[in-house]
Amino acid sequence: MSDGRAAKRVAKFIKPLRVKPGSTVDLTEDFDPRYKADLKKRDGVELLSTGVSLLADLQARLAAQDTYGVLFCLQAIDAGGKDGTIRHVMSGVNPQGVRVSGFKVPSAEELDHDYLWRYAQRLPSRGEIGIFNRSHYEEVLVVRVHPENLDRQKLPEEAKGPDVWQRRYREINDWERYLTDNGIKVVKVFLNLSKEEQRLRFLKRIDRPEKNWKFSAADVREREHWDDYQEAFSEMLSATSTPWAPWYVVPADRKWFARICAAAVLAHTLIGIDPQYPSLDGQAREELLAARGGLEAEAP
Ligand code: AMP
Ligand code: MG
């Protein structure tokens, strides 16, 4: 397939997943976790491998060009499939060009800083793809659903008012705009899992010894806050899908389909950057040719 055709196909594929900037999202109404675009799992396997090789080529060019960085943020409820998505989508790219950062309960040192500090520390450099397994969006998700997290953040009184979430949305949008304007593109994927599929995945984690480590009793307690999370997700998607960094809601009940979508969203951003291998100017080319001549003359 030509590059142009691949680009169009990717753009068309991800369009229904994009949250239109300025729109109001009601997650439970607007996005179906089981949507699969009339694809069959069998075709999906081939499509993912096409996507993975496309990403490998684009990432090599991104690294060589060394001008843009890409920040790929993955958010989801527990068992949404973040880890597996990263494993599969990035399976073809050069590990030297990728950095994965996971974010858990903040440390004492992290709590002693402004809330975006720890995320800023893990940003990708130019030429790099940085993956956030959970991201700065936890600051308007788990912190909102469990306000005691906000109490631990040692904020001054004036930063804790009832407008705190609106303010954080604005600050996050501003931060992402700043990054984008300076060559660090921000890509955001929300893996949209249904409550029933989460139940089934938790059961697997309990029943299969090799999956036990992924499960804790706290996950079931968190599940009791399902509706609060859906609301926090909906508000986050409505307030922070921007022209410079739109959200993509990826149907997550079928792992194979979620992976294709995530790969396509990332590929779409890289295609937009269209990174090029640097070409040499006249003098550098002459030096190269001179070096070649010397090496040839050394031939035994
Ligand atoms: P896991 O991804 O399963 O290893 O779990 C990480 C845990 O850290 C999740 O329960 C998150 O909700 C929690 N977490 C991540 N970021 C924050 C944050 N900023 N404040 C409080 N908890 C967080
Ligand atoms: Mg977990």
49-82 residue pLDDT tens: 999 999 999 999 999 999 999 999 999 999 999 9
pLDDT of amino acid 95? 96
Chain segment 9-65, per-residue pLDDT in tens: 999 999 999 999 999 999 999 999 999 999 999 999 999 999 999 999 999 999 999
Residue among 100, 87, 99, 102 at smallest CA distance from 126: 99
Q: By three-state DSSP, how is residue 165 classified?
A: helix
Which residues, 6+ apart, have CB-to-CB distance to 7 below 8 Å? 271
Q: Indicate which atom in ligand 1 lies nearest the CA of residue 115.
A: 19
pLDDT of amino acid 3? 79
pLDDT of amino acid 79? 97
Chain segment 181-194, per-residue pLDDT in tens: 999 999 999 999 99
Binding pocket residue ranges, ligand 1, CB within 6 Å: 103-106, 134, 138-139, 142-143, 149
Please state, as a whole number, how many other Cβ atoms lie within 10 Å of the Cβ of residue 176.
21
Q: What does the alpha-carbon distance between residue 243 and residue 216 come to, in Å, rounded to a whole number?
A: 38
Of all ligands present, the nearest one to the C-alpha of 74 is 1
Minimal-distance CA residue to ligand 1 atom 3: 78
Minimal-distance CA residue to ligand 1 atom 8: 104
Cα angle vertex 29, ends 23, 32, to 5°?
105
Tokens of 103: 């974010």
Higher per-residue confidence, 2 vs 165:
165
136 Cα to the center of ligand 1, angstroms? 11
Band of pLDDT at residue 1, cut at 50, 70 and 90 = low
CB-side exposure of 260: number of CA atoms within 13 Å?
A: 25
Q: What does the alpha-carbon distance between residue 120 and residue 143 come to, in Å, rounded to a whole number?
A: 18
Tokens of 81: 């499939």
Contact 267, 56 (CB under 8 A): no
Q: Indicate which atom in ligand 1 lies nearest the CA of residue 78.
A: 3
Partnered with residue 189 across adjacent β-strands are 74, 248
Cα angle vertex 194, ends 18, 147, to 5°?
85
Minimal-distance CA residue to ligand 1 atom 21: 105
Which amino acid belongs to residue 195?
A: K
Minimal-distance CA residue to ligand 1 atom 6: 104
Contact 58, 252 (CB under 8 A): no
Of all ligands present, the nearest one to the C-alpha of 205 is 2
Chain segment 115-168, per-residue pLDDT in tens: 999 999 999 999 999 999 999 999 999 999 999 999 999 999 999 889 999 999
Tokens of 286: 């002459």
> β-strands 184-192, 129-133: how paired?
unpaired
Which residues, 6+ apart, have CB-to-CB distance to 271 below 8 Å? 6, 7, 10, 58
Minimal-distance CA residue to ligand 1 atom 12: 142
Minimal-distance CA residue to ligand 1 atom 1: 104
Contact 1, 9 (CB under 8 A): yes
Contact 133, 78 (CB under 8 A): no
Task: Count Cβ atoms within 10 A of the Cβ of residue 147 and give its class: 0-12 exposed, 13-18 middle, 19 or more buried.
Answer: exposed
pLDDT of amino acid 36? 94
258 Cα to the center of ligand 2, angstroms? 18
226 Cα to the center of ligand 2, angstroms? 15
* Polymer length of the chain: 300
219 Cα to the center of ligand 2, angstroms? 7
Q: Indicate which atom in ligand 1 lies nearest the CA of residue 82.
A: 2
